[in-house]
Amino acid sequence: MTIKDLAKETGYGVATVSRVLNNHPNVSEKARRCILEAVEKSGFQINENAKQLKQQKATSILVVVKGTSNEMFGSLVEAIQSRVSETDYPLFVDYIDEDANEVLRAVTLCREKKPLGILFLGGNSQNFLADFEKIEPPCVLVSNSASGLPFKNLSSVATDDRFAAKCAVDSLIELGHRKIAVVGGDRENSDTGRLRFEGCVDSCSEHKIDFDPEKDYCGVRFSYQDGYDATKKLLAENRDFTALFAVADVMAIGAIRALRDSGLRVPEDVSVIGFDGLRLGSFLVPKLSTVEQSVEAMAERSVDILLRCIEKNGPSVHETVPFRVHQRESTKPFKQ
């Protein structure tokens, strides 16, 4: 079933059918009704390939997700999808490995699909610096800031990772903790990891607390197992911390298990705070204290910004979304 068939059936020409389908002006009400009815009746579905071949531009929006194991990205995709579905743009979601190069992947996808815009879920500056210039459509980097990157078609929406991490550590210090260990991300290959690390340093130096990256910090991948292993390593090298900050909830969960396996109780012996605010956290025993990123706000802002860039040729912007530190059950005041 093509628009040709539709034309034949209704007695109109293909041009008129196309105009109706695309809500173009200069169509009589009669023709519009007649054609719409035929569309309804025949279950006609437009051939996107032909449409896009002709238009030299897809009508689609692309989402490149870096790392499937990041549960927060799952919620983010869900929220983005729900928001984009209010528009007419089809959404394509493409998953790549946590260690893959998201920018190169996007370059390929651009040539193949010519999307109207791209949403990057996760990404790292080095990759953008190296190859982003090859990408033409407007893009939004979600969950990392791109404010330091010199691209006029790249916006970003993120939590202020550095400050949020600082607040997390601050909260531990306010509870009376002085010996704090950190299960962090890779500082060299992950912006997020680096920023949150810097937040820890900020807090400790502001409070004149010793923090030795060699001994008190372990940078690994964002997974349960890595959180577990890193904590074991910290315990082996540095037995006496009373609080632990894991820069992702998944790591915090691994950390809690590792502490437990070493005979330490949470929060009685060691307080643990995570980062992300996964829904899961509030169902754990103990409920996980965490820095909650606003997934809804991130999704909403990033889609809005991208649409504004696409439809109104809006300027690129770099926004920050609010976060909240939740003290739940995995942290408690330190008492000597």
Q: Which residues bind its own copies (CB under 8 A)?
A: 45-50, 52-53, 58, 68-69, 71, 74-75, 77-78, 81, 90, 92-95, 108, 111-114, 224-225, 228, 253-254, 256-257, 260, 279-280, 283-285, 287
Which two three-digit tokens encode residue 76? Answer: 């983010």
| CA-CA-CA-CA torsion sign (178, 179, 180, 186) | positive
108 binds DNA (CB under 7 A): no
31 binds DNA (CB under 7 A): yes
112 binds DNA (CB under 7 A): no
- Least distance from C-beta 285 to DNA, angstroms? 55
Residues 50-79 vs DNA: string with x where CB under 7 A?
xx-xxxx-----------------------
User: Which of 31, 321 has the CB closer to DNA?
Assistant: 31
26 binds DNA (CB under 7 A): yes
Q: Which residue has the tokens 């519009």?
A: 32
| Dihedral pair phi/psi, residue 233, rounded to 5° | -65, -45
- Least distance from C-beta 50 to its own copies, angstroms? 5
User: Which of 24, 134 has the CB closer to DNA?
Assistant: 24
**What SS3 state is found at 285?**
coil
From 181, 83, 149, select the one nearest 318 (Cα to Cα).
149
User: Which of 225, 320 has the CB closer to its own copies?
Assistant: 225
- Least distance from C-beta 42 to its own copies, angstroms? 11
Q: Which of its own copies, DNA, none interacts with 297 (beta carbon under 5 to 8 A by kind)?
A: none
Q: Which of 36, 37, 41, 47 binds DNA (CB under 7 A)?
A: 47
Q: Which of DNA, its own copies, none interacts with 239 (beta carbon under 5 to 8 A by kind)?
A: none
3 binds DNA (CB under 7 A): yes
Q: Which of its own copies, DNA, none interacts with 42 (beta carbon under 5 to 8 A by kind)?
A: none
- Least distance from C-beta 148 to its own copies, angstroms? 28
> DSSP H helical segments within 48-160, as ranges?
48-55, 71-84, 102-113, 125-131
25 binds DNA (CB under 7 A): yes
From 300, 275, 290, select the one nearest 330 (Cα to Cα).
290
Q: Which of its own copies, DNA, none interacts with 12 (beta carbon under 5 to 8 A by kind)?
A: DNA
| CA-CA-CA-CA torsion sign (102, 103, 108, 110) | positive
Which residues are bridge partners to 142 per DSSP?
Answer: 121, 157
Q: Which of its own copies, DNA, none interacts with 301 (beta carbon under 5 to 8 A by kind)?
A: none
Could you give the count of Cα atoms lying within 13 Å of 143 in the half-sphere of its Cβ?
30
How many Å from the N-terminal Cα to the C-terminal Cα in the chain? 77
- Least distance from C-beta 283 to its own copies, angstroms? 4
Cα dist from 24 to 15, 17, 18, 19, 51, whole Å: 10, 10, 8, 5, 15
Identify the burial level of 111 via C-beta atoms within 10 angstroms of its C-beta, where 0-12 means exposed, 13-18 middle and 19 or more buried. Answer: exposed
Which residues are bridge partners to 121 per DSSP?
Answer: 65, 142
- Least distance from C-beta 71 to its own copies, angstroms? 7
- Least distance from C-beta 302 to DNA, angstroms? 27
Identify the burial level of 205 via C-beta atoms within 10 angstroms of its C-beta, where 0-12 means exposed, 13-18 middle and 19 or more buried. Answer: exposed
Contact footprint for DNA (CB under 7 A): 2-4, 7, 11-16, 18-19, 21-22, 24-28, 30-31, 46-47, 50-51, 53-56
